[in-house]
Amino acid sequence: MPGCRRRAGRCDIDHGHPFADGGPTACANLCCLCRRHHRIKTFARGWSFSLLDDGRLVVRTPSGVSRTTRPPGWYPDPEPDPPELEELAPPDPLQL
């Protein structure tokens, strides 16, 4: 949350696009919000929270003020696919 000083380790992990509306539980759709800001996002009318593809969180207040934050260490590049099991297994001695 822009301006919030609560450490991420003491926060709630929340879906940017709500899980109930089909939002995936994936790093690209999760953000850390302190309990106060999580409740504002969930229950307060007129607030808008948008988690962008590049990791920025855009918050718009009921009065129209907009603030943007970007988490440190976030890289929007996709994670590589894990190696296939065949690549990890030692060679089969019976097929040599």
Q: Structural domain boundaries of the chain?
A: 8-95
pTM above 0.85, yes or no: no
pLDDT surpasses 70 at 53: yes
Backbone φ/ψ region at 16: left (φ over 0), alpha (ψ -120 to 50), beta: alpha
Q: Which of 67, 47, 74, 72 is nearest to 1 (CA)?
A: 67
pLDDT for 6 equals: 81
Q: Does residue 82 register a pLDDT over 70?
A: no
